[in-house]
Chains A and B, each alone.
Chain A
Amino acid sequence: MAGQTVYDKIWDAHVVAERDDGMTILYVDRHLLHEVTSPQAFEGLAMAGRAPWRADANLATPDHNVPTTNRARGIDGIEDPVAREQVVVLDDNCKRFGIEQFEMTDRRQGIVHVIGPEQGATLPGMTIVCGDSHTSTHGAFAALAHGIGTSEVEHVLATQCLVQRKSRNMRIVVDGELPPGTSAKDMILSIIRAIGTAGATGHAIEYAGDAVRSLSMEARMTLCNMSIEAGARAGLVAVDDTTLDYVHGRPFAPVGSMWNRAEDYWRTLVSDPDAHFDSELGLDANGIVPQVTWGTSPELVLGIDEEVPAPDDFADPAKRELCQRALEYMDLDPGTPIASVPVDRVFIGSCTNGRIEDLRAAARILTGRRVSPSVTQAMAVPGSGLVKHQAEQEGLDAIFRAAGFEWRDPGCSMCLAMNDDRLYPGERSAATSNRNFEGRQGHLGRTHLVSPAMAAAAAVEGHFVDVRELL
């Protein structure tokens, strides 16, 4: 038998049945829920008179439209009545169906993709789904994790399964070593630039190579998080000591002899040497420089030392058109050095870059420096209550505050601007989040995606700058 990839192994371990029509019924180990994509699913469940198949497979938390200020009042502190209703409905549904929830006032509340790993609710070898495309984040643990729509949320609640077709296997090998001043964010943006936002459609990506192996778990989460921006629903990294060290001691993780048994299994979650990949990409980490997106798609990205392109730089007419539209929307001229572009607001947070290492990387740049007076607002939004607490224990909040940053409460915040944290028309951000689509951070707002260190550097200088000059 030919060797198997990690993806093949996890897939095989979860096949409940192959239907006559060629679709696979796949078992779901963990289902994460939040307030935005679940209400219609719970409603459907109730209307059909169904109950959750296995309530304890689910874990819920409100994150998308919770405010990042005034949290002591809990749900009553949500000013927007429509947003408040959605959080109330999540509360009601969790109580009604016996689903564990980290409520708004719980210290463990946070972005769903931050709290899963933090709690050990995300474990190697699991199938993990959530009504959110950045569920790919959990692939960092050699889990098969991907986003689903609301109908599938209801399907998973009712059956603990998904009806799936297997994806193809893609391997992205990043060799070498990330240079100082660069991070997993620069790595994934470089990958997306190389293959495009549809480059991995239909595939599960395995990230491999020395540069990936040497990433921390948090950095691997950043990498896997943006797999969807390359078109792949799922991206993952094989198990190694780094994985196990991170998982050990987490609240939901096994202990004692159960840990030993789990570890024996988890150690098998590496691709066999003769495993087949349908496509492969190689990248040299040594050549990666700090990245800044300039356009309205994550593939429109530049090294900090580059200039905004012109439509004629693209051979494909569709790309030319995309470039032209992006230039207009972003109000940029071809040939503009990206390092000269000023920013109005700076956002550090999100499921991509809202973890403790991200906050440390930004704080390192901000130590002894001040946010430029030309910047309207700079905010740091920890990914969870526990991340916030740890940052405060380390004194990071004091560094952010002293630099002129606002120190906020956890949530998705300005990544998608469902709450009050947003750009106003024409404003430009340096953001550590994952999407620079038109209007993503607010109506007619302009988003530039960067790493936490690059966001901090832009806040200090008032424009994009090569963070390596500030190290």
Chain B
Amino acid sequence: MEAFVRHQGTVAPLDRANVDTDQIIPKQFLKSIRRTGFGDNLFDAWRYLDEGEIGKNANERRINHDFVLNEPRYAGASILLARDNFGCGSSREHAVWALQEYGFRCVIAPSFADIFFNNSLKNRLLLVVFSKEDVDELFRFVDREAGYALDVDLGMQTVRGPGFEARFDIEPQRKRLLMQGLDDIGATLAYADTIREFESRHRRAVPWVFARDGNAA
């Protein structure tokens, strides 16, 4: 898992509230049993004019030139600027995989949906929460200046760019997870003895939870 420490990159604006995970990666791509191959289908229904299907060659698709990510000035952007409640809806982690595979390392918005927030953390996609005013200001900068870039420093908890500088809050434990890129499962398995102790207490307290046929073991 690649850790997130500091990232500099250009910003693409997605000026819509409540962007749901069905938009980020539509359901037909969820049939894949792999963790990769989603980048070409990020925002599929907005990026292309034809209907996307798994295995369809992106180079043969009809591009929707009105969609912001298709504007040449935002090519290669690695920071996504978004609005309230980004990532709402379905729990599909494929949404995070698609954003990362497309090239995004960081999403900045006034708020994020809970499950998406957790999924992003697991994949070391940095989500920065800024006030609505700061986000508005960033939208103005990005609109005015082609190639507007930001320097996101997780250690310092700052985002800096031409005319902009702000600190963001992040819980220390989430920050550490992002910066270390540890194996989350390995970290929990370090508690294996504690889990086993809990489990045997729990089994005595609520034995029916462990039974499968109505009669506890």
Binding site for B on A (CB under 8 A): 13-14, 16-17, 19, 21-23, 25, 27, 29-30, 36-37, 39-40, 43, 48, 50, 53-54, 56, 64-65, 80, 82-83, 85-86, 89, 100, 120, 123, 125-126, 131-133, 146-152, 154-155, 158-161, 163, 165, 167, 197-198, 201-202, 228, 231-233, 251-256, 258-259, 261-262, 265, 297, 318-319, 321-322, 325, 416-418, 425, 435, 437-440, 443-444
The distance from the CB of A330 to the nearest CB of chain B, in whole angstroms, is 15
The distance from the CB of B46 to the nearest CB of chain A, in whole angstroms, is 8
Is A418 touching B199 in the complex (CB atoms < 8 A)?
no
The distance from the CB of A368 to the nearest CB of chain B, in whole angstroms, is 37
Is B20 touching A161 in the complex (CB atoms < 8 A)?
no
The closest CB in chain A to the CB of B123 belongs to A151
- Complex interface: chain B residues within 8 A of A259 (CB): 208
Is B212 touching A27 in the complex (CB atoms < 8 A)?
no
Instruction: Verify if B89 is at the interface (C-beta below 8 Å from A).
Output: yes
The distance from the CB of B8 to the nearest CB of chain A, in whole angstroms, is 27
* Interchain CB contact (< 8 A) of B85 among A43, A201, A253, A265: A201
Instruction: Verify if B209 is at the interface (C-beta below 8 Å from A).
Output: yes
- Complex interface: chain B residues within 8 A of A120 (CB): 214
- Complex interface: chain A residues within 8 A of B156 (CB): none
* Interchain CB contact (< 8 A) of A21 among B85, B122, B173: B173
* Interchain CB contact (< 8 A) of B202 among A27, A37, A149, A163: A27
A37-B90 Cα distance, complex, nearest whole Å: 11
The distance from the CB of B87 to the nearest CB of chain A, in whole angstroms, is 11
Is A416 touching B27 in the complex (CB atoms < 8 A)?
yes
User: What sequence of 0s and 1s flags, for each residue 75-118 of chain B, a beta carbon within 8 Å of any chain A beta carbon?
Assistant: 00000000111001111111010000000000000010111001
Say whether, besides A56-B210, A126-B209, A201-B85, A418 and B27 are in contact (CB < 8 Å). Answer: yes
Is A197 touching B195 in the complex (CB atoms < 8 A)?
no
Is B91 touching A147 in the complex (CB atoms < 8 A)?
yes
Instruction: Verify if B207 is at the interface (C-beta below 8 Å from A).
Output: yes
- Complex interface: chain B residues within 8 A of A39 (CB): 33-34
- Complex interface: chain B residues within 8 A of A89 (CB): 33
The closest CB in chain A to the CB of B50 belongs to A443
Is A133 touching B91 in the complex (CB atoms < 8 A)?
yes
Say whether, besides A48-B185, A255-B214, A16 and B198 are in contact (CB < 8 Å). Answer: yes
A23-B111 Cα distance, complex, nearest whole Å: 21
Is A155 touching B206 in the complex (CB atoms < 8 A)?
no
- Complex interface: chain A residues within 8 A of B34 (CB): 39-40
Say whether, besides A149-B92, A265-B206, A82 and B54 are in contact (CB < 8 Å). Answer: yes
CB-defined A-B contacts under 8 Å, sample of 23? A16-B198, A17-B194, A21-B173, A22-B171, A40-B33, A40-B35, A56-B212, A64-B30, A133-B90, A150-B94, A151-B184, A154-B185, A159-B185, A159-B192, A161-B195, A165-B171, A198-B111, A201-B114, A233-B114, A252-B213, A416-B90, A439-B22, A444-B51
The distance from the CB of A351 to the nearest CB of chain B, in whole angstroms, is 12
Say whether, besides A163-B188, A322-B17, A202 and B114 are in contact (CB < 8 Å). Answer: yes
Say whether, besides A56-B212, A82-B32, A82-B54, A438 and B22 are in contact (CB < 8 Å). Answer: yes
Chain B residue total in the interface (Cβ 8 A): 68
- Complex interface: chain B residues within 8 A of A146 (CB): 115
- Complex interface: chain A residues within 8 A of B27 (CB): 416-418, 440
The distance from the CB of B198 to the nearest CB of chain A, in whole angstroms, is 4
Is B188 touching A25 in the complex (CB atoms < 8 A)?
yes
Is A254 touching B85 in the complex (CB atoms < 8 A)?
no
A82-B188 Cα distance, complex, nearest whole Å: 34
The closest CB in chain B to the CB of A42 belongs to B33
A325-B198 Cα distance, complex, nearest whole Å: 51
Is A148 touching B173 in the complex (CB atoms < 8 A)?
no
The distance from the CB of A18 to the nearest CB of chain B, in whole angstroms, is 11
